[in-house]
Amino acid sequence: MTMSKSPAEIFGYSFPDIRETQLLIVGGGPAGLSAALQALKLGLKVTLVESGLELGGQLVKQTHKFFGSSLERAGTRGFRIAQELIKELTPFKGSGQLEVYLSTTAIAVYPERIVLLSQLSGKVFPIKPKAMIIATGAQERMLPFPNNDLPGIYGAGGIQTLMNQYGVKPGKRALIVGAGNIGLIVAYQLLQAGVEVIAILEAMDRIGGWWVHAAKVRRYGVPILLKHTISRAIGKEKVEGAVIAEITPDGLKDKYQVECDLIGISVGLTPTVDLLRQANVKMKYVAFMGGFVPLRDREMRTSQSWIWVAGDSAGIEEASTAMIEGQIASTSVAKWLGYISEEEAKREIDQLWARLGYLREAEVSSKVRKGLEEVLVTWGG
């Protein structure tokens, strides 16, 4: 594995005054936001950077009420959860304890514990934290099929951003590929925005998402075709249709040719781990968690003693668990920096783990539990 070059090597000069902070949190989704809140409550000075135009991560695009336990705000719509978390942060703004940078992306990590931030304006500047929590969330997987690069073929997350965050009707007739929770929910959200959904295709012999999410779209007449997939998209400048094939023991059998101006791909997420890689954090490929994920201890600390992880970037899961992991990471940072005692930290982290256990008990979480067995470690010394 190659080490990142130092800023001096890249830019030919070193930065005169490097901003310092106690805790740098990269990513302003539920994991990053709850990590920030917890750290602020424990007295730390926090810098939060988010590459998007607003805080909230995945939450701001979710119009549905969240599952989980009411303790983690289940029953509240995703975008409202984001608003609530952001509101809780406001008292800390202007107190000098919290700095928030929007439209700012952490693009590089250097062994000297320097992180390079790049702003939309083109400005690039370094920051030197004592500790860092990576909460960069996840990225969507793409599916290979002919013409999959045509405009009008978007990731499910892209559709949600366009439609629910910015209020643009993404198309008139949509086809969704993938009946996991995200595909099912996006189909429902498209109906809410007045877009016709022709069908949801699922390669497996059963829906991958939760049954109730499927029932919600079925009762509005959206078919879910099991053991079907898209065999190609049709169109020149943008998507005009698709060929749907049945998956049979003898291979794909083309079955329908439909007209559509929107195809939503939702075949899974993979953790966003570029920064962790750059920092040479020890990683492992765990299919159950969505791809390469960092090894971490019970306190969400990675093999680099100054770097912690939380949320989907530590393994694809839920907003509820992401929020708890964020709190665990910040509690651990506070302990390391001497803001709370060993005993206090242990008590708090034990309680947070109890809540994680409670959330992960279900059959539908069995994959996460298996995945964790592979990545949960104890760092020596």
Partner 1 sequence: MSKLSNLIPPDEQVSFWSGVLDPESNLDLISVPPEDLWREKRAGLVVIECPQEIPCNPCHTSCPTGAIKVEPLTAIPKVNYDLCTGCTICVSKCPGLACFVIDKTPADYSIVKLPYEMYPVPKVGEVVDCLDRTGKPVVEGEVLNVTEPSRDGTKVIWVKVPKGFEMTVRAIKVKGGE
Partner 2 sequence: MWLEEHPILDFSSKRPKLVKFYFEGKEMWGYEGLPIAASLHANGIKVYRYSTRLNRPRGFFCAIGKCSSCFMVVDGVPNVRTCITPLREGMRIERQRGLGKIDLNLIQGEAGSDDNV
Ligand X SMILES: Cc1cc2nc3c(=O)[nH]c(=O)nc-3n(C[C@H](O)[C@H](O)[C@H](O)COP(=O)(O)OP(=O)(O)OC[C@H]3O[C@@H](n4cnc5c(N)ncnc54)[C@H](O)[C@@H]3O)c2cc1C
Binding site for ligand X (CB under 6 A): 26-32, 49-52, 57-59, 62, 66-68, 105-106, 135-138, 157, 181-182, 185-186, 272, 275, 311-313, 317-320, 322
Instruction: Specify the length of the chain in residues.
Output: 381
Report the nearest approach of ligand X to the CB of residue 66 (Å).
Answer: 4
Q: How far apart are CA 274 and CA 23, in angstroms?
A: 19
| Residue 260 in contact with partner 1, rule: CB under 8 A | no
Number of residues that bind partner 1 (CB under 8 A): 57
Q: Residue 47 corresponds to which amino acid?
A: T
| Residue 243 in contact with partner 2, rule: CB under 8 A | no
In this complex, which beta carbon is closest to partner 1, that of residue 113 or of residue 216? 216
349 to 368, contacts with partner 2 by CB under 8 A?
none
Buried b (16+ CB within 10 A) or exposed e, 270-303: bbbbbbbebbbbebeebebbbbebbbbeebbbbb
In this complex, which beta carbon is closest to partner 1, that of residue 166 or of residue 220? 220
- 283 closest CA partner among 260, 305, 303: 303
Q: How far apart are CA 244 and CA 252, in angstroms?
A: 9
Concatenating the DSSP letter of every residue in 247-277 gives EETTEEEEEEEEE-SEEEE-S-EEE--HHHH
11 to 50, contacts with partner 2 by CB under 8 A?
none
DSSP state at residue 161: I
Q: Write the CA distances from 76 to 49, 70, 232, integer angstroms.
A: 25, 9, 38
| Residue 154 in contact with partner 2, rule: CB under 8 A | yes
Q: What phi and psi, each to the nearest 5 degrees, are found at residue 369?
A: -60, -40
Rounded to 5°, the CA angle 9-15-18 comes to 125
| Residue 140 in contact with partner 2, rule: CB under 8 A | yes
| Residue 192 in contact with partner 1, rule: CB under 8 A | yes
Q: How far apart are CA 91 and CA 86, in angstroms?
A: 10
66 to 95, contacts with partner 2 by CB under 8 A?
77, 79
138 binds, among ligand X, partner 1, partner 2, none (CB under 5 to 8 A by kind): ligand X
The binder of partner 1 chosen from 365, 367, 374, 377 (CB under 8 A): 365
In this complex, which beta carbon is closest to ligand X, that of residue 127 or of residue 247? 127
118 binds, among partner 2, ligand X, partner 1, none (CB under 5 to 8 A by kind): partner 2
Tokens of 189: 């959200």
Report the nearest approach of partner 1 to the CB of residue 221 (Å).
Answer: 3
| Residue 241 in contact with partner 2, rule: CB under 8 A | no
| Residue 196 in contact with partner 1, rule: CB under 8 A | yes
Report the nearest approach of partner 1 to the CB of residue 88 (Å).
Answer: 19
In this complex, which beta carbon is closest to partner 2, that of residue 196 or of residue 374? 196
Burial class (CB in 10 A: 0-12, 13-18, 19+), 129: buried
244 binds, among partner 2, ligand X, partner 1, none (CB under 5 to 8 A by kind): partner 1
Q: How far apart are CA 89 and CA 33, in angstroms?
A: 8
Secondary structure of residue 30 in the 3-state scheme: helix
Segment near partner 1 (CB under 8 A); pick from 86-94, 284-292, 333-341, 363-371 = 363-371
Q: List interacting residues with partner 2 (CB under 8 A).
A: 51-53, 63, 77, 79, 103, 105, 107-108, 116, 118, 120, 124, 139-140, 142, 149-155, 157-158, 161-164, 166-170, 192-194, 236-238, 272, 274
